[in-house]
Amino acid sequence: MTEQHEQHAHRFERGTDGPKVVVVGVDGSDSSLRAAAYAAGLARRQRALLAVVYVQPVLAAGAALGAPVAETTDEIAEDLITYIRESAERLKGIFEVRWEFHTFRGDPYNGLVKAADELKADAVVVGASEQAGHRIIGSVAVRLVKAGRWPVTVVP
């Protein structure tokens, strides 16, 4: 073993374990807000960055029929960020969490995959699906787990 390697082998690393970026998917549903609360606690304990991600759906059929899809999803994103900011303010001085809000466009699964890749996520947290049809075709959470690229926590 070289002298330089021996020095590195005996050096103690402080604060390098655990996730550095925790991505949480939010869409305004109760389960996604519970997931955000869980992820915030995880990020606080690990001193990690909490990346709150809202995936704006792209509904080509709705847009073709003249529905204001982009405006509606922009409003949802603004409502979510307002809610998160208010929650963070209420906890200021009690719990400190570094957080960022990101929006991506697309379907929820691909949007979260893109977010986790671009943000270099160490962990992904999502709420359990509240839709009955997902038991047949698979929920976003199940698809993320099957992707096997990050630890995924599914919050009921």
> Three-state secondary structure along 36-104?
HHHHHHHHHHHCCEEEEEEEECCCHHHHHCCCCHHHHHHHHHHHHHHHHHHHHHHHCCCCCCCEEEEEE
Closest CA to 42 of 56, 28, 24: 24
The reported pLDDT for the residue numbered 136 is 45
Rounded to 5 degrees, what are φ and ψ at 122?
Answer: -100, -20
The reported pLDDT for the residue numbered 125 is 96
The reported pLDDT for the residue numbered 76 is 74
**Terminal Cα distance for the chain, rounded:** 50
The reported pLDDT for the residue numbered 134 is 47
Mean pLDDT by 10 residues, the chain (156 residues): 52 61 90 90 91 80 51 73 72 74 88 94 90 59 89 92
The reported pLDDT for the residue numbered 62 is 47
Closest CA to 108 of 36, 25, 34: 25
Q: What are the structural domains, with CATH classification, of the chain?
A: 22-154 (3.40.50.620)
